[in-house]
Chains A and B, each alone.
Chain A
Amino acid sequence: MRDQKLQNKSLLLFAGGWLCCFFLLFVFISAWATEQAGKSQFQEACAAYSRGDYQAAIRKFEALTREGMSAPLLYNLANSYAQDGQSGKAILNYERALRLAPGDSDTIGNLELVRKEKGIFQEEHSFGQRFVHLLGLNQWLGVTAFAFLGFAGVLLMPPSIPMKRTSRYTLATAFLLVTVTASFGASGQYKHWNDGVVIAADARLRVSPFESAASIGSIQEGRLLRPGKSHNNFVLVEDESGRSGWLAADAFERIAIP
C-alpha cells in the first residue's frame, strides 16, 4: 500500500516536472517567435524604405512602435517621415530617439539636416544650455545618483579604512560638486522633458482656446514648444522664442510617451 502511494507520488512529481519544462519551453518559444516576427517586420519596413515606399515604411515602423520602442526603431521611423516630407513627425521621432540614445551621432546629424532643410533654425544655445544638453536626463540622473553615493560613501567610510582626513574631505567635496552639477543638468533636461513638436503643417496660435478666436500667428511644423494647461481641445503652448498662445491639441505631439 505504502509502495503504491510512493509510486503515485513519484509519477505525479515526474509529470509535474515535465509540465513545468513544457511551460518554460512554450514561454521561451513564444518569446523567440515574437522577437523573430518583430525582426522580420523591421526588415520589411527597412526594405520598404530602401525602395522608396516611405508610406509603407512608416506604417510598418509605426506598428512596431506600438509593441515597444527602441532608439533604432524611432530613428528609422523618423528617417521615413523625413523622406516622406513630414518634417514635424520626423523631428518628433528623432527627439524621441535621442531620449533613448542621447549621444547618437546619426540621430543628431539627421535631426540637424531636417531642421536645416525645413528652415527651422534654432537660436544659439547659451553655455548653460549646451552643458545641459551634453547628456540626456537619464544619464544626468545616473551621474547624480552615483556621485551622491560616492559622497555619502566617503563621509560614512569606517575609520578602519586608512585615509587622510584632508583626502577624505577633498574627495567628498569633489563628489558633492559632481552631484550638484549633475542635478543642475538633470533639472535643466527635465524642464524640456514634456516638450512637444508641431506636427501640423498649418498650425496657428490663437489668443483663446476656441476655433473662432483670433490668430496670433502661425507656428512652423517641426518647431519645439512647451505645452501648459489645456481647455476645449486646445493647449496653451510657448514656443522657443517665448511666444505663447493656444494651439489645437492635435497640431502637436509630446516627445515623452507616458
Chain B
Amino acid sequence: MTKRRYFFQKYSIAGVFCFLFLLPGLGVQSLQAEVTASATLNANTFPMDRVATFSITAQGIRSFQPQIPEVDGLRFHQRGQSTQMQLINGDYSVSVTSVYLVEALRVGSFTIPAIQIQSKEGTTQTEPIQFEVTVPQTTTNTARQQQSGSSSTSRLRSGEADKVAFMRVTPSKKKSYSGEVVPVEIKVYFRDGMKVNLNSLPQLTGEGFVLQQLEREPIQTSEAINNSRYMVLTWESALSGIKEGEHKLSLEVEATLLLREQRQRSLRGHSMFSDPFFGDSFFDDFFGSYREKDVKVASPELAMSVLSLPEEGRPEGFSGAIGDFQLQVEADPVELDPGDPITLTMTVSGQGNFDRVQAPQLGEEKGWKTYTPSSEFLKDGAKGSGKKVFEQALVAKDPNIKEIPAVVFSYFDPTTAAYKVLRSAPIPLTTTREMVPLSTEPAAVGKEEQLAETETPVALGQAEMRIKNLAPLQVTPGDTEQELRPLFMKKWFQLLFVLLLVCIVVAGIYKIRAARYANNPRLQRDQKMKNFLEPRLRELDQSLAAKDTRGFLATCRTAIQEQLGLLWKTEGAAITVADLQKRLPGDSILVKIFSAAEESAYGGQELSSQQMQEFADGMKKELDELR
C-alpha cells in the first residue's frame, strides 16, 4: 500500500469522527447581533389641531419596518426613514430613524405602546410613550416660533432675485378634499458653481397637510433664472390634507454651503442678509479662503384649503378613496367542483389616495363564504398613480349559485365633486358536478358504518358544521405511544447511538493500527520475529524441563537462524557459524550457542541445566537487543 493511500485512508477515518461529533451541531442557528431602539415624541402635550412628530430610532441595524400599533384615537402618517452611518476610531455604527406625524382624533391622554422592531440583525423594542392631547388652539404656530429661534442656522426664504439658493413648491391645485392626494413639485435652486451639501430632504412645516415620502435621490437639472444659472434639485411628491380648513404651508431643506471668503473684508458684525455670499460680489475674490455655512432654504408660504367631503350622496361602503379609479375583476377557476374555492382578483387602478382604497365588496354576499382579502399596491410612475390588487377567496355555499355577483367599489371624484360607484359585470360559473347543500349531506361514515346504527340521530345544528368529503374514521386504535418526541430524544435511540459510536470508534482505532502496520516494514518484521520466537521459546522450555540437550541446542539454532534471517533479510536456514562470526561481535553469546549446537549435532555435547538456562536467557536478551 502506498504512503498516499495510507494518508487518504487515515484522513477519511478522521473525517468520519469529525462528522460524527459535528453532526449534533447541525441546525444550530447563528447568533444574532444585539440591537437597541428608542422612540421619541417631540411634545408631551399638544393641541388637537396640531400634529406631533414621532421618531423611532434603531441602532445597529440597516433597515427595519416598524409595526405601528393600532391606538384608539390616533392616526400615524409616515414621513420618511433615514439612515446614519458612523465610523469613529475604527468602530462602525449604523442607525435608522423612521419619522411619523401623529394626528389625534380626540382630546385626552394617550400611550403609544412599545413597538417591536425586527430585522435580520436582531429584535428589540421601544419604551411606551405617554402624552396629552389638549383642546384645539386656533392661530398660534409653535413650530414656526421654535424654528425662528434657531440661531446658528441662516434661513433663506424666497424672493428669488439675487439669491444663491431658493425653493419653489408647486402644488397641482390649492383646494383639495380631506384625504385627497395633491401632486406637488418641489424644486430647490442653488447658484451654479456653488459647493453644496444637502443635510435633509425637504420638510413640511405647517399644519393640516402631510407630505408623502420623498425619493432620496432628486432629479438634478440646470436652469437659467434672471440671467443667472442655477443647479436645480427636483422632487415629485404629493400633499394630502388631514384637517379641514385654510392652512399656510412651507417647505424647507437644510444644506451646508461651502463659501469662498473675501480676504480683505471682515464678516464680523454683518447681518445675515448683508453677508457677501448673498450677492454676486461674493464670488469676486478668487483667492479667498473657504468656510462652511449651514442654511435652511425655505419656500414661500402657500395658502392651501382642505374641504370636507360632502355627506350627500355618500355611498354605503365608501372607504375614503378620492381620485379617479377604474375597477377590473377576474375570477379563477370559473369551472369548479362543489366546495372549490374561487380566487377573485379585483384590481383598482388610476390616480388617487390608494392608502384609503379598500377591497371592493360583493354586491350580494348571500350564499357565499368570503375570506379576508390580501392586497398589494403597484406604483405606476407619477405620485398617486398605480394599481391596488386585491385577492379574495370565495366558496359558494348555495348549490343554486350560477354566477359571482357584481363587485362594487365607490370613490369620490374631486373633479366633478361627486361620489361615483363602479360595478363589475357578474361572472358566470360552471359547476362540473351537482352541488349538494351542506346541511343535507349525510355523515361521512365509511369503515365505521357498522358501528351503532341504532343510535340517536344527528342534531341539525351539528350537521351544518360538517365538512364534506372527510376521509372516514380509522377502525383500529393502533399502537399507542406516551409522548410525541423526536427519535433522538428517546432513551433507546440515544443508547443505540452511543453503542454505534463506540463500535465505530473501536473499528476506527483497529483500522488505523492496521493501516500503520501495513505501511511500516519494521513493525511487520518485529511482529514476524515475535511470532517466530514465541513457539521456539516454548520448545526451549520443554527441552529444558526434559533436560534434552540436543533438542535444546537444535531449537536454539533454529531460533537464531529464523530471527537473524528476518533481521538480515536472508534465508534463515542458510545462515552458518561463519556468517555469525562475520556479522556479530566476537563475544556474542549467539555465536557461542550456535557453535555449541553445531557441535552437539555432530558430537553429542551435553549441557547442564544451568548452562541451558544461561543459554536461553542470553539468547533472548541478545535477540531482543538486535531487534
Chain A residues near B (Cβ < 8 Å): 38-39, 42-43, 46-54, 64, 67-73, 75-76, 79, 82-85, 96, 99-100, 106, 109-110, 113-114, 116-117, 119, 121, 137-138, 141-142, 144-145, 148-149, 151-152, 155-156, 159, 165, 169, 172, 176, 179, 183-184, 186-187, 190-191, 193, 207-208, 213-216, 243-245, 255-258
Q: A42-B477, A53-B456 are in contact. Are A155 and B12 (CB under 8 A)?
A: yes
Query: Please, how many angstroms separate the alpha-carbon atoms of A216 and B474 in the complex?
Result: 41
The reply to whether the CB of B316 lies closer than 8 angstroms to some CB of chain A is no
A113 touches B480 (CB 8 A): no
Contact, CB under 8 Å: B113 / A213 = yes
Does B544 count as interface, using CB distance less than 8 angstroms?
no
Decide if B485 is an interface residue (CB 8 Å cutoff). yes
Indicate if the CB atoms of A51 and B458 lie closer than 8 Å: yes
CA distance A169 to B11 in the complex (A): 13
- Kindly list chain A residues whose C-beta atoms are within 8 Å of the C-beta of B507: 152, 156
Q: Can you offer 8 A-B residue contacts whose CB atoms are under 8 A?
A: A38-B477, A49-B445, A53-B456, A53-B458, A67-B480, A70-B477, A156-B508, A245-B116
- Find residues 487-506 in chain B having any chain A CB closer than 8 Å to their own CB: 487-488, 493, 497, 500, 504
- The answer to whether B504 and A72 have CB atoms under 8 Å apart is no
Contact call A49/B500, Cβ cutoff below 8 A: no
B-chain residues with CB within 8 Å of residue A72 when the two chains form the complex: 474, 476-478
Complex: A119 Cα to B341 Cα, angstroms? 9
Name the CB-closest residue of A to B112.
Answer: A214
A114 touches B26 (CB 8 A): no
A83-B465 contact in complex given A50-B449, A183-B26, A244-B118, C-beta closer than 8 Å: yes
Once bound together, how far apart are the Cα atoms of A156 and B26, in whole Å? 24
Contacts of B116 in A (CB 8 A): 207, 244-245
Please give me the residue from chain B that is nearest to A119 by CB atom: B371
Separation of A42 and B123 alpha carbons in the complex (Å):
47
Interface pair B455/A47, CB less than 8 Å apart: yes
3 pairs of A and B residues whose beta carbons are closest in the complex: A52-B458, A68-B480, A47-B452
Judging by beta carbons under 8 Å apart, are B478 and A71 in contact? yes
CB contact between A52 and one of B20, B457, B471 (< 8 Å): that residue? B457
- Chain B proximity of A187: nearest CB distance (Å): 4
User: What is the interface of chain B mostly: helix, strand, loop, or mixed?
Assistant: loop
State whether A70 touches B478 (Cβ < 8 A): yes
Asked if B16 and A152 make an inter-chain contact with CB atoms under 8 angstroms apart, the answer reads: yes
Q: Is the CB of A75 within 8 A of B474?
A: yes
Taken together as a complex, chains A and B put the C-alpha atoms of A156 and B16 apart, in Å, by 10
Instruction: Give Cα A255 to B393, complex, Å.
Output: 27
In contact, B393 and A46 (Cβ under 8 angstroms)? no
Identify the B interface with A (CB < 8 A): 5, 9, 12-13, 16, 19-20, 23, 26-27, 67, 69-71, 113-116, 118, 123, 125, 339, 341, 369, 371-372, 393, 395, 443-445, 448-449, 451-453, 455-459, 462-463, 465-467, 469-471, 473-488, 493, 497, 500, 504, 507-508, 511, 514
Contact, CB under 8 Å: B473 / A46: yes
Residues of A within 8 A of B453 (CB): 50
Query: Considering the chains assembled together, what is the distance between the CA atoms of A136 and B507 in angstroms?
Result: 31
In the complex, what's the smallest C-beta–C-beta distance from A15 to chain B, in angstroms?
A: 36
Known: A82-B467, A119-B393. A258 touches B508 (CB 8 A): no
Cβ contacts under 8 Å, B372 to chain A: 119
Asked, given contacts A50-B452, A116-B341, whether A76 binds B473 with beta carbons under 8 Å apart, the answer is yes
What B residues does A208 contact at CB under 8 A? Answer: 113-114, 125
A56 to chain B, nearest CB (A): 10
Q: Which residues of A contact B444 (CB under 8 A)?
A: 83
Contact A84 B393 (CB under 8 A): no
With A54-B462, A257-B483 known to touch, is A183 a contact of B467 (CB < 8 Å)? no
Q: Compute the total of residue contacts between A and B using a CB distance below 8 Å.
A: 200
With a CB–CB cut-off of 8 A, which chain B residues contact A109?
Answer: 471
Instruction: Let me know if B455 and A50 touch, CB within 8 A.
Output: yes
Q: Is the CB of B477 within 8 A of A73?
A: yes
> B451 — nearest CB in chain A belongs to which residue?
A47
Contacts of A75 in B (CB 8 A): 473-474
How far, in angstroms, from A68 to B452 measured CA to CA in the complex?
25
On whether the beta carbons of B16 and A68 are closer than 8 Å, the reply is no
Residue of A53, A68, A149, A214 ringed by the most chain B CB atoms within 10 A: A214
Given pairs A50-B452, A68-B482, A256-B486, 7 additional interface contacts (CB within 8 A): A69-B484, A70-B478, A72-B477, A83-B467, A151-B16, A187-B26, A187-B27
A156 touches which one: B67, B452, B475, B504 (CB < 8 A)? B504
> Chain A residue with minimal CB distance to B27?
A187
> A114 touches which one: B16, B19, B115, B467 (CB < 8 A)?
B467
Which residue on A lies nearest to B128, using beta carbons? A208
Q: Which of chain B's residues has its CB closest to A241's CB?
A: B374
Do B27 and A258 have beta carbons less than 8 Å apart? no
Whether A138 touches B486, Cβ cut-off 8 Å, given contacts A46-B475, A47-B451, A72-B477, is yes
Residue on B nearest A35 in the bound complex, by CB: B477
Contact indicator A49/B448 (Cβ below 8 Å): yes
Q: B458 near A68 (CB under 8 angstroms)?
A: no
When the two chains form their complex, are residues A46 and B451 in contact, meaning their CB atoms are under 8 A apart? yes
Given contacts A187-B27, A256-B484, contact A214 B69 (CB under 8 A): yes
CA distance in complex: A214, B68 (Å):
10
Residues of B within 8 A of A43 (CB): 451
Docked-complex contact A84 and B113, CB < 8 angstroms? no
Q: By the criterion CB–CB under 8 Å, are B508 and A255 in contact?
A: no
A50–B23 contact, CB under 8 A?
Answer: no
Q: With the chains together, A64 CA to B449 CA distance in Å?
A: 21
Nearest B-chain residue to A64, judged by Cβ? B477
Cα distance A186–B493 in the bound complex, in angstroms: 15
Q: How many angstroms from the CA of A151 to the CA of B514 in the assembled complex?
A: 19
| Residues of the A chain whose Cβ atoms lie less than 8 Å from the Cβ of B13 | 155-156
For residue A220, give the distance in angstroms from its CB to the closest CB of chain B. 8
Closest to B343 in A: A121
Q: Which residue of A lies closest to B506 (CB)?
A: A156
B27 near A257 (CB under 8 angstroms)? no
User: Hey, which chain B residues are within 8 Å of A51, CB to CB?
Assistant: 443, 452, 455-458
Q: Are B500 and A149 in contact (CB under 8 A)?
A: yes
Chain B residue at minimal CB-CB distance from A99: B484
Determine the residue in chain B with the shortest Cβ distance to A190: B27
Q: Which residues of B contact A46 (CB under 8 A)?
A: 448, 451, 473, 475
Q: Name A176's closest neighbour in chain B (CB-CB).
A: B19
- Bound form: Cα–Cα A162–B203 in Å: 82
Chain A hits for B483, CB < 8 A: 69, 257-258
- The interface residues of chain A lying within 8 Å CB-to-CB of B500 are 145, 149
Task: Kindly report which residue of chain A lies nearest to residue B438, judged by CB atoms.
Answer: A117
Q: B487 near A70 (CB under 8 angstroms)? A: no
Contact partners of A138 in chain B: CB under 8 A: 486-487
Which residues of the partner chain B approach A76 to less than 8 Å between Cβ atoms? Answer: 473-474
A70 engages B456 (CB within 8 Å): no
- Tell me, rounded to whole Å, the shortest Cβ–Cβ distance linking B480 to chain A: 3
Partner of A83, one of B5, B125, B452, B466: B466
